[in-house]
Amino acid sequence: MTIRAAADGSALGNPGPAGWAWYVNDDCWAAGGWKHATNNQAELTAVLQLLRATAHVPDELLILCDSQYVINCVTRWMPGWKKKGWRKADGKPVMNVELLKELDQALVGRRYRFEWVKGHANHPLNEAADARARAVSEAYQRGTTVPSGPGFVRDGERRVERPAATELAAAARPTTGTGTPPLFSLDGQASTEDRPAEIPLLLHLTPAEHERLLARAKRRGTSPEQLLKELI
């Protein structure tokens, strides 16, 4: 089978409040973003997050993308950049190199292909991804709740509602001074059964560890909680 999904990004002001999104259907999509990023970073992250969300399934992935930059990065330019130590032909460093390295790793062993679609041309999947990416960038601009989506859900599977993501600073607020290191609570959804749907976890971090976690989550365009879950 082939998973057909659109990936798109948005950056108000470019750079500015930014969002990424991938979209399969109304029950299968995800989005995230940052207070400040570029459109290219958002577009790359949309594809990266789509690859990660589907890493557990063997299906081929058809990525619909309106960014020639992203398609060229993956299909034409990255092999040469890697050989040159992630530098361009003129010797200058490649832009967005950390994202590109993560994309390069996420592509290993995957069956995928890109299809370019014209943006803002009433393509249903592209328009849906674009609308969700823009909604995230506007949420960061206004300081409101970020719509994160249900994640990857196959047809026929039970949809599990996720709480909408909030800003990284609210999701994992650092303590100040020399007080107690911050705590992270990965609280699961309440269950009517005796066993909980998820196991709550408290994680003690030093201030330095907390800063590294925030930075890595920001680069990936996700929350610290989701980043930690992805490591399991």
Contact status, residue 58 vs residue 7, Cβ threshold 8 Å: no
Q: Report which of residues 13 and 173 the model is more confident about.
A: 13
**133, 206: one domain:** no
Q: Is the pLDDT of residue 215 over 90?
A: no
Active-site pick, 19, 32, 33, 66: 66
Give me the sign of the Cα torsion angle 103, 72, 22, 115.
negative
**138, 224: one domain:** no
- Would residue 60 show up in a list of annotated catalytic residues for this protein? no
Structure confidence at residue 164 (pLDDT): 43
Residues contacting 99, CB < 8 A, separation 6+: 41, 44, 45, 48, 219
Identify whether 155 is part of a domain. Answer: no
- Would residue 59 show up in a list of annotated catalytic residues for this protein? no
- Would residue 138 show up in a list of annotated catalytic residues for this protein? no
Distance CA 46, CA 119 (A): 15
Identify whether 70 is part of a domain. Answer: yes
**61, 128: one domain:** yes
- Would residue 120 show up in a list of annotated catalytic residues for this protein? yes
**What's the pLDDT tens digit per position in 60-101?**
999 999 999 999 999 999 999 999 999 999 999 999 999 999
- Would residue 104 show up in a list of annotated catalytic residues for this protein? no
Q: If residue 112 lies in a helix (H) or strand (E), which one and from where to where?
A: strand 112-116
One-letter amino acid at 84 equals: K
- Would residue 26 show up in a list of annotated catalytic residues for this protein? no
**6, 120: one domain:** yes
| Number of domains into which the chain is organized | 2
**136, 178: one domain:** no
User: Can you give the residue range of the structural domain that contains 44?
Assistant: 2-142
Please identify, among 142, 159, 187, the residue that sits at the C-terminal boundary of a domain.
142
pTM: 0.70
Active-site pick, 19, 32, 33, 130: 130
